[in-house]
Amino acid sequence: MINTITRAVRRDNVEFNGVGQILKGAMTSAADSRTNITLRLAILAGVLLAGFLTSVCIGDVFIEPIKALTLLTGGSTNSATAPGIADILTQIRLPRTLIATTVGAALAVSGYILQALSRNPLADPYLTGVSSGAGLAVAIAIIIGVDFNLMPVSAFAGGLLAALLVAQMARRAGGLSVTRLILAGVAISAVCGSLITLLITQSGSASQSQGIIFWLAGGIAGRGWNDLTTLLIYTVGGIIATLFLSKQIRVLSLGDETAQALGVDVSRLQWLLLAAAVLMCGAAVAASGLVAFVGLIAPNLARLLFVRDERVEIVASALIGAVLVMLSDMAARTLGQGQELPLGTLLSLAGGPFFLYLISTSKGQEV
């Protein structure tokens, strides 16, 4: 009897130790995962900071990094050229680089939201009709002679109106129909694109046609602190709202019916997410013109680099988008001899092959 009890106790101890080892291994794995996530986010932030410093230093007038850091931190330099360099740094390059990073973050998180709503990794924020509506509004503004400083306002208003029309057409009793949203966005984009082409060909003025084409090509040249303020408000607000809704986004990924059964107000969530995506995308388009593929590339890279954690993916998408647009803008103003290259064109050259890669890797899957 005693031997039987002893064997039972030993067996229980072995089982308990085995469970303990499993739990310990799981906790260690979770800790390692958190460490890896923190390290990767730190690397992304480091790349962003390094690229930011490089961007404000490189140009027609090279500014030494130490001098740039001194001026940015409020220090003074003894150089006779310090006043001119300070103006170049603080009035031209600094706001431009900040606008580029903010545009990238806004488009990236907008893309993440649209991909979450449609559960399709090939979705893009411009599917909402924002870009085409903004382009048409700017084309009309140029034709009727609106002041150039009001172009961002015209772009934002046009993009917002187009997005509202698309959303209205996608309405259904239980919220939004994602299929109708995409189809309506494609249709509105086609109509607006045709009208833009008509305005370009019938404008009767070469300068007006060139102005429309220049804006459609995308770029941040001539933007300043005033343009940054509005863009920053919409972008920061949109990212905070998306982070706040991240848990509901995870439930929504299981499907509308499942999310509804788990207590999520699917209709309300869809409208909130769509509003955040449209406002961020509209503000970005108003500041930079048509800059494609950022909202496609950044969220997919974030998912490749990080585990299934919506909050981390949102932050990573914003960082990757900021780096993409900032480096592309730096290339746009430094690679061309005597003139800037179109920002949208450079990003399309990178985004097109990446889009084809996504399609090739999703063979056999429903996208």
Residues 61, 64, 70, 74: what is their CA dihedral angle, to the nearest 10 degrees? 10
Q: Give pLDDT, residue 92.
A: 87
**For every one of its 367 residues, what pLDDT tens digit does the chain have, with 9 covering 90 and above?**
555 545 544 554 444 344 444 434 444 444 547 778 888 889 999 999 999 999 998 888 888 888 888 887 776 655 545 567 888 888 889 999 999 999 999 999 999 998 888 888 877 877 778 888 888 888 888 888 877 677 778 888 888 888 888 888 887 766 677 788 888 888 988 898 899 888 888 876 778 888 788 888 888 887 888 888 888 999 999 999 999 998 998 888 888 788 888 888 888 888 888 888 888 888 888 888 888 889 888 998 898 888 778 899 999 999 999 999 999 999 888 887 767 888 888 888 877 787 787 777 765 555 4
123 Cβ neighbours under 8 A, 6+ residues apart: 111, 114, 115, 117, 182, 296
User: Given this model, what pLDDT does residue 320 score?
Assistant: 94
Tell me what pLDDT residue 304 has.
85
CB 44 within 8 A of CB 315: no
Spatial CB neighbours of 202, under 8 Å, sequence gap ≥ 6: none
Class of domain 101-360: mainly alpha
Handedness of CA 164, 169, 173, 175 (dihedral sign): negative
The H or E element that residue 175 is part of is: strand 175-176
Between CA 54 and CA 64, with CA 59 as vertex, the angle to 5 degrees is: 55
